[in-house]
Structure formats: C-alpha cells, structure tokens
Structure 1
Amino acid sequence: MPAMTEPKLIAGNANQPLAKAIARRMSLHRGMNVSLVDARVERFNDQEIFVEVFENVRGEDMYIIQSTSNPANDNLMELLIMTDALRRSSAARITAVIPYFGYARQDRRAKARTPISAKLVANLLVEAGVQRVLTLDLHATQIQGFFDIPVDNLYAAPIFALDILHQFEGRLSELMVVSPDVGGVGRARELAQRIGAPLAIVDKRREKAGEVAEMTVIGDVDGKTCIIVDDICDTAGTLVKAAQKLVDHGASEVHAYITHGVLSGPAVERVEGSIMKSLVITDSIEPSPEVRAAKNIRIVPTAPMFAQAIMNIWNGTSVSSLFEVETLQPIYEGMYSRA
C-alpha cells in the first residue's frame, strides 16, 4: 500500500555530512526538497543529552540517521533519546538508520562472564521505540536475529565491486581478493564472485586482543594485485601486517576495501606508512580531517544507496534489490560511467 505522507529525516551529531548528503539525494529523486527536520541535540553542563524537535512530526514516517561510532556511548544515547522524543511526539513510524552499528563486535560470549552487548543495544533500541533498523555491513549477520523488528542490512560489496571494476579496468585478470582472517571468508568470497577474481586467505593467530602473533597466507598470490576485504578497520595493525605478508609472498600490489573506517589511534599514520597502495573506505563513519588528508585513503559515498533504501522502505518496495551491482549502477550514475 503506498505511503500517504512524505518520509522525514532527522539526524544526530554522529555524521551530519552523511545525513545531509542523503537528504540531497532524496531531493533529487523526489523532485522536491527533502531537508532534515529542524531539531537541536545538545548537552547540559553535566553532559546529559537533550533533544528538542521544532517541527510537527505527528503521524509522520520518521528516519533517524545516526551512526553509533566514536564516541559510541554518546552517539547511542543521542539515538535513544531522539527516538523517545519522536515516539512521545506521536510519530507514526520510527526507523533508525545506523550506517555503522557500534557494539556489533560483542555479538557472542567468547569467554565466561562476558556480555553480549550487541543484544543489549538491540533491546535498548526497541524499548526506546525504534520500529525498524536500516544498517550497513553488520559485523555479525546474526545480530539481525537479536531484534524482534525488521532489520535491513545493506552491503558495501556491490559499491566496492563497481569501484574495483572502474579502478582496475583492463587489469581484472591480475586481481585476487584476500580475506584477512578465516571468519571473513564469506564476505571476501562474495566480492570475489562479483568481480570474477580468485580468493586467498591470510590466517592469523592472536596471543591476545589487538596483537597478532603469526600470519599464514593460504593461496598463491605471486604476481597478483591483492585486494583485502573486511568490514572494520580499527587501529589498522592487522591490515598493515597482512599487506606486508602478501608482498613478502610475491604480491605485486596490495589494496584494501574496508566498509567502516574506525581508524582509531595510530591507524592513519600506519596506513600512510604502509606498503598498501590504497585503502578505500565508506563514509558510514564521518572521516576525520586526518583521514581526508591521507594520501592513500579514499572514501566512497553511501548516501545514494541509503537514500534509495529509505525511499524503498517508505514505498514498501524491495530493499534487497540494492544488493545487486546492476541496481546500484544507475544510482551511482556519473561516478563509475565508462569513458
């Protein structure tokens, strides 16, 4: 059944540039101005978060755009409080658009007496009043099952495939997709199938969290242009070591395609000083000035995909159609057109 009201967007402070870009894309598609709902999200002196919505949202289809990236707790609380404000203002439906879903790495009990924080966050969102979630490349796909509401998990792989087919045109036979660990093989295999490339794995053994003791390359990468694929790059330590290991095994070049550029601590410095030719990330997390200035880090936009996904949800049409390169190509018109 077609929607009777226009979709309305509201944004927290986590990634305002992405929220504005989504609004611009929707304005182009709708042929009418789609702007962010006027609101203020600020902090009292004791850092309590306060939200005030200045427009009438009664009966409206609301979309809150807010990544729960660093500072994760502040951004999560902003999302929860904004949801509560909209629910108490009689919004008809509240969809949380979370380009980067924080706490997703805590999706299971790896040791005794540890939390499953991703499930706790899911409970908090539902209790606050979120009725649907739209996100990108969940670290663990089973997190969708933590919710008793619809969860649409978009994938960066089709965008990355478009970018690779454009950037490496004429060299596709030289490419090899590499998973930086055994757990990421499914993600790497999907991209490899999209671009018609073989697959290799860098198997790693950790002594403790954040420290890699040993790496083994599984697959023949000699003479290949290797593309490392992963969902999150945090401190970039593992990524840089994997790139060096591939070159040591004969790879001619190493590039990386990572969905969420957390890039904390010394990450940018490590990437700039590494053997990698390029690191490609999305703007699911607002890039810092250091990230934007880095000579070998490139950012691909997600606004076209999120804008289309929001309109599909609003229209009641398929979101899974955005999983295909053929569907995304016209959405990213001009970016990857052939000369």
Structure 2
Amino acid sequence: MRKCKVFVGNSHSELGELICSKLGIEPAPCTLKKFSNGETSVQIGVSVRDEDVYVIQSGSEDINDHIMELLIMVSACRGGSAKKITAVIPQFPYSKQSKMKKHRGAITARMLANLLVMAGADHIISMDLHASQMQGFFTKPVDNLYGAASLGKWIKEHVEDYTNAVVVSKNPGGTKRVTGLADSLKINFAMIHTDRRRGDNDFLATKMKKQQVPSHSRRQSVVGRRRSSAKKEDADEEEELIYSNGLQTARVVQGHVVGDDYIAEEAVDESAISVDSDQEESIPNDQTSYALGGTYDAADSDEEYEPEAPEKLITLVGNVKGRSVIILDDMIDRPSSFIAAAEHCRLNCGATKVYIAATHGLFIDNCLEELEACPYIDQVIVTNTYPITEKKKQCKKLVTIDVSSIFAECIRRDHYGESISVLFDKIASGI
C-alpha cells in the first residue's frame, strides 16, 4: 500500500500488529512515552506529508492515558501535513455515556468525538458502537463495523444443532442487535426483562406474597372475577394465554435466581402489609412514572446507572425449553446480569446450554472469573477488539475471535476509495 502509514498505539498493540500483518505492511515507527510528571509524549519517526495515515488505538484499562495518546498522535500527524487521518478505534471509549443518564450529567461520548475532530481526525472506524446514534456526534464520516459476522460464523461451526438455538437479549435495549443476528442465522430470538426499580419494601413484599398464593387459589379467584364481569373475562383469558406461551418470571436476590420459597435475610414485616388480590398494585413513590405505564428511561440497559434493589424480577419472553441459548450483547463488563440470565434460562426455562457472546470483552475486575465459576454458562465468546491479559486467556470457557481481517479490509478499501458497504454485504452473506 503506497502513500499509506499505519501507527499503532500502546492500548492494544497486539491487534494493531495483526492488522498490519493482514495488510502486508509494517507499523510506522513512532516513539510513545511518558515524562516523569505523567505527561504523554509522542514523536512520529517518519514523514507523513501528503499520505493517508491510520492511527489504531482501542479502549483499555488505562483508558484516559491512551485517549490522550491517541489525540496527540492525531495532532502530530496533522502537524506533519498528512493528507487524511483516520482514527481506528475498535472499542470506542466512554461509549456507555452516549446519553444523559441523570440530571446534570454529561454526554461524555459526544465530548470525546469533538476532541477527536478538533485534534484533526478526518475519519473514524469503530466496531459495534454501544449506541448507533453516536455516529451523529461526529462532523466527520464514521464507519461502524459489525462483529456479528464473526460471532455468527463461530455459532454455526461450534454450537450443536444451532438451527434450533435461540438468541436472547438480556435487556430490552439490545433487542435490535439480537434480532439482527437471529435473522442472519435464521433462528428464533427471545428477550429478558429485569425489573430493577421495584426497590420499595412494601411493594416487594406485596409482590412476594401474591406470588406465594397457590395456583389453584389464583384460578378460583380468576373464575370468580369472570363471573362478575364480562370485560375482565377477556383480559384474564388474554393474560392466561400470554403466560402459557412463553412468559417465565423468577426472583433475583443478590444477583442470583432463587425459588419462590426463598426468604430474604432481612424479612419484611408482614403485619404492616395488606394484600388484596383484586386491587391494582401501587407504584412506589420514589419512581417517576410516565404515560403508558413506563418509568424514566425504561429502555436503559446500563447496569451501573441503575439503583441497586434488594430484589429484582426477571422475566423471559420466549421459549427456550430443550434448546441452546446464546445471550448476546455488545460488551461484557460486569457479570451479574449475564449470570442471572443464564440461571433463569437453565433452571426455570429448560435451556440445555447457555453461551455468552459479545463483541467487546472488557471483563472488569473479577468478571471473567465469576462467569467461569457459574455452572450454568458453557462458554464465553468475545472478539479481540479489547486487550485481554494473559491470565484471562487461561480461562477454559473463554473463546476469543480474531477480527483483525475485518479492520484490515476496511482500511484497504478506504485507502483505495472502494465501497465499505460492499464489505458489509460480503460479511453478512458469509454468516
């Protein structure tokens, strides 16, 4: 590739070298170091005048230092009169902060996009952005590649009887991603909803007491209401039909699925609770309710911004009985929601195997160790967009898929002015 230079940052040098190897070139020389006072220093070791420059820098554990390194490298290439500068960011940092989670919060992903453009980036290449609307943060072109092709290929080759498998979204926010993979593989999909906002003790105790009513008593109560009201009869029949066609609900306490007979250590005083089976359940006062029965930011899928409740309700919408389950998300950072979803699918819904699949394997703290220790998770599949330490690579359940060829082909097509959408078409047809 003539008139082209590829610089590799320190965040994920292994992936950068693999991309250069696929392109058949050597990484351009540059000196990246830090001064004694903590400042980042970048020295470009080759002329970039009137050349296409690609700077490869992904997310990492030292994210803030590597962001500054990326910005300084882009600025140095701009100062060196580069013709075009493309920032290749396989895992875009701060992508979970792409919208305002709380009042007086910051949309940090947009701020980072502005910093990249101001530093001199003319083009951005990334993979599986946490939110597709992030492309609108940039005033420059953005190519958002997809890791579903690599994941789908692995599923076809390694999941037994994959045609009967079910792709499951662990939260409503990921349904679009799940349906895309399910359509490509021509298999079914399902969704898990976790009610995190029911943290009021009285409300939870009322819910628990209602769940503990024997099923024959509930049926007698339903029959009585059907006799008393013709309008309620149709609603009850519809509710019973929905329940019998794929709605399985369970309790989650401290991140694990428990049975209906489980009693929490901090029991609620039942004398202070009055239960009326014919009365509508009241919404806790600390919630902000909106029209159509929703609550503030109900589609949110980021766990770290949710208030921690003593007990949650997890519901699977779909049928996974006797089938393999593939729980798909864009990244794996914390294990609690994946473990709860796997336990619910195996213990309550009859799934035979559970695979956890994602594009970015962040594995914060002991995330990977907890996923490996869970007996209901068979394998964890991620790509190499995010650096994985040698210790984590020793995990027996971990499978890492190389996506360097996708980035290399994207860089080659961009350098020669070829269509990137054709690359997407070829990837989609290869699943």
Query: What TM-score, normalized by structure 1, do the two folds share?
Result: 0.91
SS of 2:412 mapped into structure 1: helix
2:410 pairs with one of 293, 309, 318: 309
Map of 2:350 onto structure 1: 250
Of 316, 320, 325 in structure 2, the residue corresponding to residue 221 of structure 1 is: 320
| Alpha-carbon offset, residue 165 of structure 1 | 1.1
Instruction: Return structure 1 stretches of 4+ with deviation > 6 angstroms.
Output: none
- Give ranges in structure 1 of 5+ residues lacking alignment: 28-33, 330-335
Cα displacement (A) at 1:7: 2.4
Give how far 1:205 is off: 2.4
Which one-letter code corresponds to 1:189 in the other structure?
T
Select the residue among 143, 150, 164 that pairs with 2:155.
Answer: 164
In the TM superposition, residue 290 of structure 1 has moved relative to its aligned partner by 2.4
In 2 relative to 1, CA 6–206 (structure 1 residues): closer, same or farther, beyond 3 Å? farther
Contact 1:279 1:297 in 2 (8 A): yes
Q: Which residue number corresponds to residue 57 of structure 1?
A: 48
2:322 counterpart SS class: coil
Structure 2 gap ranges (5+): 198-302
Matching residue of 2:13 = 16
User: CA–CA distance in 2 between the matches of 1:321 and 1:230?
Assistant: 25
SS at match of 1:254: strand
CA contact (8 A) 1:224 1:253 kept: yes
Q: CA contact under 8 A between 1:158 and 1:324: conserved in structure 2?
A: no
Displacement of 1:324 after TM fit?
A: 3.6
Q: Tell me the CA shift for residue 110 of structure 1.
A: 2.3
Q: Where do residues 147-186 of structure 1 align in structure 2 (5 Å cutoff)?
A: 147-168=138-159, 171-186=161-176
Distance verdict in 2 for CA 1:308–1:204, change over 3 Å: same
Deviation at 1:162, TM superposition (A): 1.2
Verify: 1:187 aligned to 2:184, yes or no: no
Note closer, same or farther for the CA distance 1:326–1:261 as it changes in structure 2 (3 Å cut): closer
Q: Secondary structure at the match of 1:148?
A: coil
Aligned counterpart for 1:75 among listed residues 53, 66, 76: 66
Aligned equivalents of 1:155 and 1:204: distance in 2? Answer: 27
Offset at residue 174 of structure 1 (A): 2.4
Closer, same or farther: CA 202–327 of 1 in aligned 2, 3 Å = closer
Percent sequence identity is: 34
In structure 2, relative to structure 1, the CA distance for the partners of 1:324 and 1:247 (3 Å cut) is farther
The change in CA–CA distance for 1:325 and 1:205 in structure 2 (over 3 A counts) is: farther
TM-score under structure 2 length normalisation: 0.72
Residue pairs, 1:32-111, within 5 angstroms: 34-111=25-102
Distance 1:25 1:307 in 2: 6
Match of 2:363 among 243, 263, 283: 263
The answer to whether the 8 A contact 2:52-2:82 is kept is yes
Q: Distance in 2 between matches of 1:228 and 1:120?
A: 31
Q: Choose 37-46 or 127-136, whichever is displaced more.
A: 37-46
Q: Distance in 2 between matches of 1:281 and 1:57?
A: 35
Measure the CA separation in 2 of the matches of 1:315 and 1:327: 22
Single out whichever of 123-132 and 240-249 deviates more from structure 2. 240-249
Deviations 1:244-273 (A, max 9, x none): 111121110000111100101110111110
- Residue 279 of structure 1 aligns with which residue? 380
Aligned partner (choices 290, 307, 329) of residue 230 of structure 1: 329
Instruction: Name which of structure 1's ranges 87-96 and 158-167 shifts more when overlaid on structure 2.
Output: 158-167
Q: How many residues align?
A: 320
| Aligned mates of 2:334, 2:102 — CA distance in 1 | 23
Structure 1 counterpart of 2:170, one-letter code = P
- SS of residue paired to 1:10: strand
Instruction: Say which SS state the counterpart of residue 368 (structure 2) adopts.
Output: helix
Comparing 201-210 with 221-230, which one deviates more in the overlay?
201-210
d(CA) in 2 for partners of 1:172, 1:231:
20
Q: 2:257 corresponds to which residue?
A: none
Q: Give the counterpart letter for 2:336 in structure 1.
A: G
Q: Alpha carbons of 1:72 and 1:206: their partners in 2 closer, same or farther (altered >3 Å)?
A: farther
Q: In the alignment, residue 413 of structure 2 is paired with which amino acid?
A: N
Q: CA deviation at 1:325?
A: 5.3
Secondary structure at the aligned position of 1:223 is classed as coil
Distance 2:429 2:359 in 1: 16
RMSD: 1.7
Amino acid in the other structure paired with 1:84: S
Residues 52 and 125 of structure 1: CA distance in aligned 2, closer, same or farther (over 3 Å): same
Alpha-carbon distance, 1:172 to partner: 2.2
Q: Report the Cα distance in structure 2 between the residues aligned to 1:23 and 1:328, rounded to whole angstroms.
A: 25
1:131 to 110, 114, 122: 122
**What amino acid does structure 1 have at the position aligned with 2:421?**
S
Larger C-alpha radius of gyration, 1 or 2?
Answer: 2
Contact 2:7/2:55, CA 8 A, preserved across alignment: yes
Quote the Cα distance in structure 2 between the aligned partners of 1:319 and 1:254: 34
Deviation at 1:56, TM superposition (A): 1.0
Which deviates more, 69-78 or 175-184?
69-78
Q: Which residue of 2 aligns with 1:293?
A: 394
Provide the C-alpha distance between the structure 1 equivalents of 2:427 and 2:62, rounded to a whole number of angstroms.
36
